[in-house]
Structure 1
Amino acid sequence: MSFTFAHNNINVMDLQQSLDFYSQALGLTECRRKEAKDGSFILVYLTDGASGHMLELTWLRDRTNPYDLGDNEFHLAFTADDFDAAHELHKQMGCICYENAAMGIYFISDPDGYWLEILPAKK
């Protein structure tokens, strides 16, 4: 028996705002969408176009309060082929929430407060 990653899910308050953020900040694009017939939810799957892994954004129609992310110890990590250019983009976007220069990494925060780690590509 074996298992492979399929996707990670995060719930979002404003689907379009999140789609715009993930497109601009990380270059992710929509590859699949599922909408409930009654309009109660929309699932959008994003891809980086290189790996088979996807990020599922879930929007729930009846959700009115921001999600409680607890201690926000969960995060997704992305490698950047041009780390310096990525850092400059995220700096201009104002979404860098934590930097660890000694480790050579930083984190950005999406519109719902989820943290995304940015790593330099290994050479």
Structure 2
Amino acid sequence: MEFTFAHNNFNVLDLEKSLKFYEEALGLKDDHRKVAEDGSFILVYLTDGKTPHLLELTWLRDRKEAYNLGENEFHLAFLVDDYEAAHAKHKEMGCICYENPAMGIYFITDPDNYWLEIVPKNK
């Protein structure tokens, strides 16, 4: 079983302001998006155009107040080449904290309760 980095996530209050900042300050560009059918969220994946690593910006329609970063509203994601084996291992360890079968992903927590997303490599 082999794990590799996929992306980092930051939740943002004002998506357009954040997109402008990341492009201006770091040269990051919109690579692709996922928009909820009901408009409740937008995920924008930013790329540096050089590496495969992405920064995911998440905008939530109902969020009105600034984020308290102590709320653990961010995560690291890892690609795995054998999703079923990884899931079985993490289930055995008792560290799976959230599963989203519709998206084909799940999250585990480390000892400090940081969330780590597990994504199938071929997703």
Q: Partners of 2:69 and 2:62 in 1: how far apart? A: 18
C-alpha distance after superposition, 1:38-63 (max 9, x if no partner): 00000000000011000000000000
In structure 2, the partner of 1:38 is 38
Return the letter of the residue paired with 1:12.
V
CA deviations over 1:23-81 (Å, ceiling 9, x no partner): 000000000100000000000000000110000000000001100023xxx9xxxxxxx
Q: TM-score, normalised by structure 2?
A: 0.56
Aligned partner of residue 9 in structure 1, secondary structure? strand
Shift of 1:8: 0.3
SS of 2:3's equivalent in the other structure is coil
1:11-33 alpha-carbon deviations (Å, 9 max, x no partner): 00000000000000000000010
SS at match of 2:4: coil
Give unpaired runs (5+ residues) of structure 2: 75-123
Q: How many residues align?
A: 71
Output the aligned Cα RMSD.
1.2
What is the aligned partner in structure 2 of residue 62 from structure 1? 62
Structure that is richer in strand per residue: 2
% identical equivalent positions: 69
1:6 Cα deviation from its structure 2 partner: 0.5
Counterpart of 2:29, as a letter, is T
In structure 1, the partner of 2:16 is: 16
TM-score (norm 1): 0.56
Q: Which residue of 1 aligns with 2:50?
A: 50
Higher relative contact order (CA 8 A, sep 6+): 2
4+ aligned runs moved over 3 Å, structure 1: none
Q: Tell me, what secondary structure is at the counterpart of 1:32?
A: strand
Counterpart code for 2:58? T
